[in-house]
Structure formats: structure tokens, C-alpha cells
């Protein structure tokens, strides 16, 4: 690993949390969302033989930052599960999850965000399709996409169309859904209506689905409602749309993806997108990337699609964090 000055903020967070120990780390993690903790956990898996001096430097850096703050206030009730299993091992991860999950006022629906997607699908399998749609719409789009993949083709289509038709769900309906899970999970009472589902939600979920399932669903939606299919298609962000991201955004994305993934993804990209990537790299890096592309032999379409999905996931996460815009620079920044 590079010296402390070259560590990313995520790597520093991973080192800091590991150095704090299980109990204190759990107290911090319970205030972070699932995607944030997943990123930290992935960084944990890459840490190896970190010298004590480097740990001390990271802690000192953290203390300097905190000393400049008048207070730290984080309020986010979203969580993570799969990453902790990979990063810390199943038993240790379970201890952390239990401590985080059951020491906060987490609703039954929020608890589903911790569950393995297959478990969520099994829990919903015999529920009414409208209940399935509401619950899946409540999940993060990437988790929702995996949950949907465990349903058969007919069920996937019906659920996604119901999600697209959702708008707002009333508090009593949310409470009824929470009650379904309160025998297993500690729940807090829902007291406000909330916007849930809609065409954009359906598009976001499809963005995270495997290409074959995505195409299959889109065909089914077209057969049922061509106008809805067109709306969803317009809202979906696909790899070619990276051409519309401004240069600064492309540079931010490139800092977050591996060269191997980039080479594989660009094998299936048109020339204009490849050139956009090249011009946002140093001359030397662009030359090396061109050489890698030329030297890369025939690859499976599925491998290209997987690499493109990986980069799109990074792009969407950066957009969610407010670091880039996924529509170019047309929107005014303030």
C-alpha cells in the first residue's frame, strides 16, 4: 500500500475503524448508510500488514480534522450486511450487525436492507404482488434488482410495472408492512406518508439488473404498455450515456475504477466514448490504455457487460454523493 499521504479517504476510514475495535466501530457504523459501509468494508479487505506508524498517522489526521469541527451530527438509518461478512468474517460481522441493528430505532422495512436478497425474495414470494412491489421499491435499487432476479419472469414483470405505477404510500399502509416483520425485527412506528416507487424507481432498479434480465423485462413492459417502456428507457442510464458526462465527471469516475475493468468495458464502447476517456487521462496513461485495448484479444459479451455495469455502479454512487452529474454540465451548479 502507498504511504499515508496517498491513501484514499475510504482507506483511511477503514484503517481508523479497524484500529478502534469492534464495539466502537459498531457505534460509528450504525450512523452510516449501507453503501458507505460497503465501500469501507471493501477497503478493509485490501488492507494487509499496515505498519503501526501508518495507523498512528491516520488517527492523527482524523484528530486534526475533528478538532476543527464544532460538532459531528450524522442521522441516517440505512445499513449494510453483505460487505461486513466479506470484510470481517460471518461471525464477527453478525455481532456488529446485531449491535448496530438492534440498538437503533429501525423499522421492519429498514431491517430488510440488511438481509440477503435471496432471503428477502423468499420472505415475499407468497405475498400479494402489490405488497411485493411496495417492499422492493423501498429497497435500494441495487438490492432491489438482485431481489427481483429471484422471481420468475412473469412475476418480475408484474412487480416492476406495479413499482412504476406507485407514487405515495400512506402511513397506515407502511405500518401494516412493518407489522409483518416485527416478530423478527425491532421496529419503529411509521408516522409519515412517503414517496415510493414510480417510473424513475423502476428505471433505477433495471439499471442494476443483469443485461439479459433487463432486456427481457423491457420487452415484457413494451408488450403491456409501450408508453411506459419508453418512459423507463428514457430514464435509464446506460454505459453509452457516459459520453454525456462532463470532463471533470469522467476524471472523477476514472479515479474510482480499475484499469482491468476499464479496458474490458471499453472493448464494447464506441469510438467517441473511448476518445472521451483518453482525453481525460494523462498522455502516458492514455497511451498505455490504448495499448491494452489493442492487445486485448476477443472477450465474451457477458464480460464486457459486467465491466460496464461495474463502472456504471461507480458512476451512480458518485452521482448520489453529489460528486458528479450524470447528464453533462447543462444543469447550473450553485
CATH number for position 120: 1.10.220.30
Q: Which of 266, 242, 230 is nearest to 327 (CA)?
A: 242
Confidence (pLDDT) at 85: 58
Residue 80 lies in a domain: no
Confidence (pLDDT) at 147: 92
For 159-195, the pLDDT digits (tens) are: 999 999 887 777 777 777 777 766 545 444 444 455 6
Kindly report the average pLDDT of the chain as a whole number. 75
Answer yes or no: are the C-beta atoms of 125 and 91 closer than 8 Å.
Answer: no
Residue 227 lies in a domain: yes
Residues 303, 296: Cα–Cα separation, whole Å: 13
Domain that holds residue 115: 106-185
pTM: 0.49
Specify whether 244 is located in the same domain as 296.
yes
Residue 202 lies in a domain: yes
Residues 100, 186: Cα–Cα separation, whole Å: 12
Residue 301 lies in a domain: yes
Specify whether 309 is located in the same domain as 283.
yes
* Ranges in the chain, pLDDT < 50: 1-5, 67, 69-80, 99, 101-106, 184, 186-192, 328-334
Residue 82 lies in a domain: no
Residue 266 lies in a domain: yes
Residue 271 lies in a domain: yes
Specify whether 310 is located in the same domain as 255.
yes
Answer yes or no: are the C-beta atoms of 253 and 265 closer than 8 Å.
Answer: no
How many domains does the structure of the chain reveal? 4
Residue 157 lies in a domain: yes
Amino acid at each position: 500500500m502507498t504511504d499515508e499521504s496517498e491513501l484514499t479517504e475510504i482507506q483511511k476510514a477503514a484503517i481508523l475503524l479497524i484500529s478502534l475495535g469492534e464495539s466502537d466501530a459498531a457505534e460509528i457504523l450504525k450512523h452510516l448508510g449501507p453503501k458507505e459501509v460497503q465501500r469501507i468494508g471493501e477497503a478493509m479487505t485490501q488492507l494487509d500488514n499496515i505498519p503501526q506508524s501508518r495507523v498512528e498517522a491516520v488517527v492523527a489526521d482524523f484528530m486534526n480534522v475533528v478538532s476543527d469541527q464544532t460538532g459531528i451530527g450524522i442521522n441516517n438509518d440505512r445499513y449494510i450486511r453483505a460487505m461486513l461478512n466479506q470484510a470481517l468474517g460471518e461471525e464477527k460481522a453478525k455481532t456488529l450487525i446485531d449491535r448496530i441493528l438492534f440498538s437503533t430505532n429501525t423499522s421492519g422495512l429498514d431491517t430488510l436492507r440488511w438481509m440477503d436478497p435471496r432471503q428477502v425474495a423468499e420472505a415475499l414470494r407468497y405475498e400479494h404482488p402489490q405488497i411485493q412491489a411496495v417492499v422492493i421499491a423501498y429497497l435500494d435499487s441495487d438490492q432491489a434488482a438482485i431481489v427481483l432476479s429471484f422471481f420468475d419472469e412473469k412475476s418480475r414483470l408484474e412487480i416492476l410495472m406495479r413499482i412504476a405505477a406507485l407514487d405515495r404510500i400512506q402511513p397506515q399502509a407502511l405500518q401494516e408492512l412493518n407489522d409483518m416483520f416485527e416478530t423478527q425485527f425491532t421496529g419503529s412506528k411509521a408516522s409519515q406518508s412517503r414517496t415510493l416507487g414510480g417510473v424513475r424507481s423502476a428505471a433505477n432498479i433495471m439499471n442494476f439488473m443483469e443485461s439479459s434480465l433487463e432486456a427481457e423485462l423491457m420487452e415484457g413492459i413494451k408488450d403491456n404498455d409501450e408508453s411506459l417502456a419508453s418512459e423507463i428507457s428514457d430514464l435509464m442510464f446506460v454505459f453509452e450515456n457516459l459520453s454525456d458526462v462532463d470532463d471533470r465527471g469522467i476524471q472523477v469516475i476514472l479515479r474510482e475504477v480499475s484499469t482491468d475493468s476499464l479496458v474490458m468495458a471499453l472493448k464494447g464502447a464506441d469510438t467517441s466514448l473511448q476518445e472521451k476517456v483518453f482525453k481525460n487521462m494523462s498522455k502516458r496513461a492514455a497511451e498505455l490504455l490504448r495499448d491494452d485495448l489493442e492487445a486485448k484479444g476477443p472477450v465474451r459479451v457477458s464480460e464486457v457487460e459486467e465491466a460496464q455495469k461495474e463502472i456504471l455502479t461507480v458512476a451512480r454512487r458518485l452521482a448520489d454523493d453529489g460528486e458528479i452529474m450524470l447528464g453533462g454540465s447543462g444543469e447550473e451548479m450553485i
